[in-house]
Amino acid sequence: MIRKVISATFILAIAACSRVEPIPEAEKAEIDCLASIAVVEITDYIRAGDAAGTDPSELMHIVPDKIAEAKEKLKAKYGGEIDAAYLEYDINHRLIEIEDALKSGDPNSIDHLNMTETVQLGRSCTFGT
């Protein structure tokens, strides 16, 4: 179910991103930071809920909630719709890579390397400074 929600959002974000000018590199780096922070928060929340025995259906709200929270932070700094679409795409794409990395279990896969990079970035960067 989560994968279907992520996939649908991913498709909408791609469509939104394809109609506008590229995002400046400095702004993209900030969005990547914010996306990584959101992904770490999502995965930490889901991991804690799973460890506590929370019903998975009760965790379904975390992805859209964290995306909305990240969009609000981004809007406060940049305000552009393309930025919000790219942010949502970035979060969903990183979540899919993490899911694929966990499924494969191969520590040398590109998804595993990207997962590690996302977690490291999300735990070390600060958005908006």
> pLDDT at residue 128 above 90?
no
The number of domains in the chain is 1
Owning domain of residue 75: 2-124
8 A C-beta contact, residue 125 and residue 108: no
Per-residue model confidence (pLDDT) at position 37 = 97
What's the pLDDT tens digit per position in 51-91?
A: 999 998 898 999 999 999 999 999 988 877 778 889 999 99
Q: Is residue 13 included in any domain, yes or no?
A: yes
Helices 25-51 and 110-124: crossing angle in degrees, nearest 10, is 100
The Cα–Cα gap between 60 and 64 comes to 8
Using a cut of 0.85, tell me whether the model's pTM lies above it: no
Q: Is residue 129 included in any domain, yes or no?
A: no
